Amino acid sequence: MFPRVALQRVGGRLASTANAARHYATSSASGPVSFGLNDDQRAIDELSRTFAQEKIVPAAAELDRTMEYPWAILKEAHAAGLMNTHVPEEYGGAGLGMVECAIVSENLGFGCTGVQTAIEANGLAEAPLIVGASHELKMKYLGRMGETPLVASYAVTEPGAGSDVAGIKTKAVKEGDKFVINGTKMWHSTNSGHANWFFVLAVTDPSAGVKGLTGFVVDADTPGITPGRKEINMGQRCSDTRMVTFQDVVVPQENVIGAVGEGFKLAMKAFDITRPLVAAGAVGLAQRALEEATKYAQERKTMGKAIIDHQGVAFMLADMAVNAEAARALVWKSAWVKDAGQRNSYYASMAKLYASRAAVENASMGVQVFGGIGFNTEMPMEKLYRDSKIFELYEGTSQIQRLVISRHLPALYPA
């Protein structure tokens, strides 16, 4: 049993650490920078690492084969305090800082990124409420997530609107003191078949572009919501992706998050929280590929010696090690900047871009180290290879991350 209450107490101590970091980051004083974990962070690392090794790793292959939603693991993760980690304690979460959340996400991703995605998608739905909802909405919807093992879904992308958020067609029409939502969501709506509630982005003013988008929190049992069939994806098959149709779904005015027309801004601010954590999951996969390949390379012998002693293999392992370490450093930088109270969009996109590439490259090189047997479903590398690709697609494609990064450059380096 993993003590959820104990983890929440750790979160309380970390809140004061984050406040100190915020003061330091905005001051002009200089001081040492450390990559060492403090006692609380080491405890969180050990907790989440042990959970991944004991609960996730043994179940991962079977979950991939059956594509079964990992409810049993999610319930244990909830009891251990490893869900809702960035939700403030006031609203029933662990109240951890971003660095601590990144440590948890990496370890969960090491175990299985399908499970990690189910947990992180929950966090993605919660993030717009954290950054923009009223106290009452936070208490009602975030509060219940801490009390009971529940999941939520982020319903933003559509069959014809992925990276092009301005292309959203789902509409919310004001009728008295309510809104009526009609439209279809797809792909990004992970957990939608099991969600207790949805964050929904809809058009409230078709003439205003992204300023005409509004965010809503919508109970999943509201009449008119119809989840479609589970989509069978290339990888991360135990996570749940399906089309969701909203037909004349009535939502009360008080379920508007922030103000009417602020939905796009909320969604983008949410990414500042979630992109570092998605990137951390990618680091977990990159690290898993490195460890599996290194162990195999020491056991497998050709031409009279272990293949790790052949330069061609050794150099691939070296590149994999660099990928994992460099990606982790960017993730921690983006998380630290957020904990310091600064806008981290620039670093969050860097972390997401680089960690996604590290995951794909490490999985590919891992298969190469295993050779022909790495292509077989009995070996872990085959699953890691399939699981890795989605990191370059969801929560903003790698091209979108480059766009975000490039648009920050003129301000950083003016002509």
**Distance (Å, whole) CA 231 – CA 213:** 27
Domain span including residue 35: 4-151
Do residues 136 and 173 both lie within one domain? Answer: no
Instruction: Please list the alpha-helical segments (H only) found in 81-134.
Output: 98-111, 113-132
Do residues 312 and 366 both lie within one domain? Answer: yes
Contacts of 192 (CB under 8 A, 6+ apart): 153, 155, 185, 198, 227, 240, 241, 242, 244
pLDDT of residue 32: 57
**Distance (Å, whole) CA 242 – CA 230:** 5
pLDDT of residue 24: 32
**Distance (Å, whole) CA 272 – CA 269:** 5
Question: Is the distance from CB of 406 to CB of 282 less than 8 angstroms?
Answer: no
Mean pLDDT by 10 residues, the chain (415 residues): 46 41 36 81 98 98 97 98 96 96 98 97 95 97 96 92 83 97 89 96 94 97 96 96 96 97 92 96 98 98 97 98 98 96 96 98 98 94 98 94 97 96
Report the amino acid identity of residue 393: L
Q: 350 to each of 69, 205, 281, 326, 336, how far by Cα in Å?
A: 31, 33, 15, 11, 14
Do residues 138 and 18 both lie within one domain? Answer: yes
For 142, half-sphere exposure in the C-beta direction (CA atoms, 13 angstrom radius) is: 30
Average pLDDT along the chain: 91
The CATH number of residue 319's host domain is: 1.20.140.10
Numbers of helices and strands, H then E, in the chain: 13, 10
76, 262, 382, 395: which one is catalytic? 395
Of 151, 178, 205, the residue that ends a domain is: 151
Question: Is the distance from CB of 358 to CB of 324 less than 8 angstroms?
Answer: yes
Do residues 30 and 147 both lie within one domain? Answer: yes
Handedness of CA 140, 153, 131, 219 (dihedral sign): negative
Question: Is 395 annotated as catalytic?
Answer: yes
pLDDT of residue 161: 77
pLDDT in tens, 105-133: 999 999 999 999 999 999 999 999 999 99
pLDDT in tens, 215-264: 999 999 999 999 999 999 999 999 999 999 999 999 999 999 999 999 99
